[in-house]
Amino acid sequence: MSGCKIVEHIRVIDSHTAGEPTRVVVSGGPDLPGVTGAAARRDVLSASFDHYRSMIVGEPRGSDALVGAYLCEPSDPSSVAGVVFFNNVGYLGMCGHGTMGVAVTLAHMGRITRGTHRLETPVGLVEFEFDGTHRVAVENVPSYRHEANVSLQVEKIGTVTGDIAWGGNWFFLVTEQVTPLSLANVDRLTWMAWRIRRKLKSSFSTGKGGAEINHIELFSPPHSPENHSRNFVLCPGGAYDRSPCGTGTSAKLACLYADGKLKEGEIYRQESIIGSVFEGSVRVVDGQIIPRIVGSAYVTGEAMLILDPDDPFRLGIRR
């Protein structure tokens, strides 16, 4: 009886940052009274409300590339909001392109204007500077190299060497340059990166405290002479990042700094697989490397997601 059915609605605002999409949940997400702070929210969401994740970013409403962002009350009063980032298979610690997407979305909603703002993420406070239009500079959580020159024998590929580094998520940054890093080659790059990820897992190579390394980053020389490098980033659910990946670029900056190849304040331009660019630099505070990533984000749509109880796929296609 359609007259009795309760149809839920979730209001979202979509944006993209350097080609990578973000969907900010503005209202209609699960109400979690008494759960304050982004880290606590992420834990409760993943344990008890994970179907919201798949209904918001999963097909048929979303796509594998889409990163979702729940806004919540921050536990830190100096933050404009708390945020929990999620994707097609789970939750992220931080998200650089997503933070830029949240910034332009908050401005679109009239919640912020040009200036410096703080955001509370499950892995710490980040600060962003918004220029009042599209440009956002994110000061990320402290980033570092956890292990250098890890050597793996990857079946059908051979020896692969790389660094394990933290940039708000865990990355394996492959040392050997891979060419061509082009969209025409995405299937092969995905295959390679996935094999490397599987090898890391089977050889018990982890981040700090046994954390899974779920992002793989490949590099080649840039296509544009203005940039320093081009990358391909495989995200946890098998999609590739259309942007240069804010947390991946942070991990790269930390490794470059550790190797003495980047000085404080020096600009490093990271080009993505689609040719979009993030500008990165670091400053060092009390021995900690703080990456700053600058890029542009654009609001692309506002929508009301409809959860019809008659729809067999209202919770998304679960993975």
Does 243 sit near ligand PYC (CB under 6 A)?
yes
Q: At what angle do helices 38-48 and 50-57 cross, to 10 degrees?
A: 90
Please tell me which residue in 72, 235, 245, 255 is annotated as part of the active site.
245
| Closest to 172 (Cα-Cα) out of 141, 207, 140 | 207
Q: Which residues contact 225 (CB under 8 A, 6 or more apart)?
A: none
Q: How far apart are CA 181 and CA 140, in angstroms?
A: 26
Site string for ligand PYC, 16-45 (x = CB under 6 A): ----x-------------------------
Contact pick of 247, 270, 272, 281 for ligand PYC (by CB under 6 A): 247
The 75-114 contact track toward ligand PYC, x by CB under 6 A, reads -----------------x--xxx-----------------
If the CB atoms of residues 26 and 95 are measured against ligand PYC, the closer one turns out to be 95
The binder of ligand PYC chosen from 13, 245, 297, 299 (CB under 6 A): 245
Residues touching ligand PYC, count (CB under 6 A): 12
Instruction: Choose between 231 and 243: whose C-beta lies nearer to ligand PYC.
Output: 243
Which CB atom, from 220 or from 250, has the smaller least distance to ligand PYC? 250
Among 241, 251, 291, 307, binds ligand PYC (CB under 6 A): 241
- Euclidean distance between CA atoms 132 and 129, whole angstroms: 9
Q: Which residue has the tokens 């190797």?
A: 259
Our answer to whether residue 255 is catalytic in this structure is: no
What is the distance between the alpha carbons of residues 44 and 72, in angstroms, rounded to a whole number? 13
Name which position in 137, 174, 196, 235 contacts ligand PYC (CB under 6 A): 235
4 is catalytic: no
Q: How far is the CB of 256 from ligand PYC (least distance, A)?
A: 17
> Which of the residues 72, 95, 235, 255 is marked catalytic?
95
The amino acid present at 152, given as its one-letter code, is: L
Q: Tell me how far apart the alpha carbons of residues 136 and 236 are, in angstroms, rounded to a whole number.
A: 25
Q: Considering only CA atoms, which of 191, 190, 192 is closest in space to residue 176?
A: 192
Is there a contact between 251 and 197 (Cβ–Cβ < 8 Å)?
no
Using CB under 6 A as the binding rule, whether residue 217 contacts ligand PYC is answered as no
- The answer to whether the CB of 294 falls within 8 A of the CB of 278 is yes
Query: Is 227 one of the binding residues for ligand PYC (CB under 6 A)?
Result: no
CB 265 within 8 A of CB 112: no
Instruction: For residue 113, give Cα distances in angstroms to 18, 106, 212.
Output: 21, 9, 37
* Interface with ligand PYC (CB under 6 A), residue from 101, 246, 280, 291: 246
- Site of interaction with ligand PYC (CB under 6 A): 20, 67, 92, 95-97, 235, 241, 243, 245-247
The residues annotated as belonging to the active site are 95, 245
